[in-house]
Amino acid sequence: MNSCIVTAEIYDSPQLRHTPDGLEVTEMIVHISGLRPDDPSHPLKVVGWGNLAKEIHQNYHPGDRVILEGRLGMNTFETPQGYKEKRAELTLQRIHNIGATVPSPTRTPVAAPPPSQPAPYRSPEYETTPPAPNPSFTATPEPTYQPTTFDRPAYTTTSVTEAEPDPDDIPFARPVYAHTSLVNELWDTCEVGANSSWEGIKQIKP
């Protein structure tokens, strides 16, 4: 026999029984992982005696991962078919739980104190002067303008007739009218000649 330490996982529930002398004995099967991830696990029978047997039965359950320390031995037994086989068996001396399934004392959660509420902010009060009343103004109605109609004066159109020149303003001249006789034609010829002479004298006279 030799002493060994192995890491294993509990496969079935620990079974508690008593010997004829009244000594407690607990047996359970654990699985030991292979060297490589794809290697199958290997079963191992674990036996605990006395107070350790009661502790295992009360505190450990299938699926717990544990560290086992004890003496490793080989037992020979006969199968129902009549064959003899050898099976390794670990007589437990110490056990350590490394899993999370071991029941732990129940703790009553302590309620966290409510967050402190900040004191309400009060804005400082200032003396306010009431606004001066606005002077009232009397609205003056806007004047209404009436369109003024101007009467256009009536103008009287008067035809202006030019006055005939006075024959006395021109010496030796008289109006020439339609001639109906030879005497008047001769007379007019004389007057035209006289008028021409008179015009020439006025141009020579300084």
Q: What is the pLDDT of residue 160?
A: 52
**Cβ-based neighbours of 63, under 8 Å, separated by 6 or more:** 9, 10, 99, 101
Mean pLDDT, contiguous 10-residue spans, the chain (206 residues)? 85 92 93 85 91 92 92 85 87 85 46 57 53 52 57 55 53 47 58 58 55
CA pair distance 87, 79, nearest whole angstrom: 12
Q: What is the pTM of this model?
A: 0.45
* Three-state secondary structure readout of the chain: CEEEEEEEEECCCCEEEECCCCCEEEEEEEEECCCCCCCCCEEEEEEEECHHHHHHHHHCCCCCEEEEEEEEEEEEEECCCCCEEEEEEEEEEEEEECCCCCCCCCCCCCCCCCCCCCCCCCCCCCCCCCCCCCCCCCCCCCCCCCCCCCCCCCCCCCCCCCCCCCHHHCCCCCCCCCCCCHHHHHHHHHHHHHHHHHHHHHHHCC
Q: What is the pLDDT of residue 55?
A: 93
Q: What is the pLDDT of residue 117?
A: 60
Q: What is the pLDDT of residue 129?
A: 52
Q: What is the pLDDT of residue 132?
A: 56
Q: What is the pLDDT of residue 106?
A: 44
CA pair distance 54, 51, nearest whole angstrom: 5
Q: What is the pLDDT of residue 156?
A: 56
Q: What is the pLDDT of residue 179?
A: 45
CB 103, CB 59: distance < 8 Å = yes
CA pair distance 8, 56, nearest whole angstrom: 14
Q: What is the pLDDT of residue 173?
A: 45
